[in-house]
Amino acid sequence: MTPEMIAPLFLALLASFCSTTSAQDANMDRALKLMAETPLIDGHNDLPWQLRKQFNNELNKVDLNTLETTHTNIPKVKKGRLGAQFWSAYVPCDTQYKDAVRQTLEQIDVVHRMCQKYPEVFMFASSSDDILKAFSMNKTASLIGVEGGHSLDSSLGTLRTMYQLGVRYLTLTHSCNTPWADNWRVDQGSDPSEHDGLSPFGKQLIVEMNRLGMLIDLAHVTVRVMNQVLDMSEAPVIFSHSSAYSLCKHSRNVPDEVLLRVKEKKGIVMVNFYNDYVTCRQTATLSDITFDHIKKVAGAEILGFGGDYDGVTRLPEGLEDVSKVPKLVRDSKVNSTKPDDVPIPYDDVQNPCRTSYGYPNAGTSHSFGAAALLLSLAVLTEILAL
């Protein structure tokens, strides 16, 4: 190839690169604007477990401004524009029948103490109003989810006490059966079924969670338990950190038929970033995190983020820590407008209990930020106790 031929080719490649970079920059600007107007709520982060594992919860021995051995620290939270986070109060299954309750209380405590130590960054939250308040103050709203029913020691009193301490969701099982519910490993064939889903006590616990206003998290249960809860719960349910089974046939993911039932229940599936649940391989890239399948099956309204940072060992290239989340918002098909997203005409659904956000000709003018905010908080507003 002659020098005369190389020069035009180089210029063409440079022009293409600049055009792509410019488009990416514009999309990132759009994503950051959206995140400045709307709190991104992540369903699951295991930083509290790392604080226990690495520092035995001695917060005086760690500075979250400089900590570099975790996916999450204060600079990463700020760069990641994290509006609200459900911090996981998790303890391993081998604490079951031993000291699971005590250890879980200590994990709840460390979240409270983290908020107290860094009040300029974190604000403890237990309601949708709290999330809005924290967002208005440019702080990360910090909620608690208990990951695993073994943490209750089969006690409704423990459930109620944890609710009073600010816990707003319970993952019914982790990776072990409880005396009242089967875990996901039953579907995989690794554990035997002990209850054919939920026992009578397990069903009683669902009723009590509904009464309290505590979110029911189905992220680690069998498909049988998923369907039993969807049959009986009077409130929307969540999957705090699960992906689509059709894309990666792992028992921790959600089958299409369950996605449809979550839509009917007005619940939410918060997509996990763990490589093994995204691609069923040890490697993945940012582009492998796709919302298209769930959106196609059940609609964009059930989609959420549940990164599972600091609880997994492998994350996609481009999503290595919390700071990278804006890249996913930038690239997400959720962050776009397509013909199939045209909403139903307001006149077709107008009633005294429905607002007109987003409908420019409905007689009320509201900002895009307000409309998006209502969307992001729809589930939480309905089922978190105020």
The β-bridge partners of 255 are none
Q: Which residues pair with 268 in a beta bridge?
A: 238
CB atoms within 10 A of CB 315: 21
Q: Is 150 a catalytic residue?
A: no
SS3 344: coil
- Phi and psi angles of residue 274, each rounded to the nearest 5 degrees, phi first: -65, 125
Q: Pseudo-torsion of CA 309, 171, 301, 128, nearest 10°?
A: -90
Q: Which of 308, 310, 321, 331 is catalytic?
A: 308
241, 288, 310, 331: the active-site residue: 241
CB 306, CB 274: distance < 8 Å: no
From the list 42, 147, 187, 288, the catalytic residue is: 147
Cβ atoms within 10 Å, residue 75: 14
Q: Closest Cα to residue 386, out of 169, 125, 38, 44? A: 125
Long-range contact list for 7-11, CB < 8 A, 24+ apart?
none
Catalytic site residue 71? no
User: In terms of Cα–Cα distance, which of 355, 361, 351 is closest to 375?
Assistant: 355
Q: Which residues contact 74 (CB under 8 A, 6 or more apart)?
A: 64, 65, 118, 121
To which residue do tokens 């604080």 refer?
Answer: 51
Say whether 241 is catalytic. Answer: yes
User: What 3-state class would DSSP assign to 181?
Assistant: strand
CA 386, distance to chain mean position in Å, is 20
Question: Cα–Cα distances in Å, from 208 out to 92, 179, 186, 343?
Answer: 24, 17, 25, 36
Catalytic residue, candidates 71, 174, 195, 250 = 174
Assess whether 308 carries a catalytic annotation.
yes
Question: Annotated catalytic, 174?
Answer: yes
Q: Which residues partner with 167 through β-bridges?
A: 144
- CA dist 195 and 178 (Å) reads 9
Number of H helices, E strands in the chain: 15, 9
d(CA 267, CA 253): 15
Q: Tokens 């959720």 appear where?
A: 334
Instruction: Please give the positions annotated as active site.
Output: 44, 46, 147, 174, 220, 241, 308
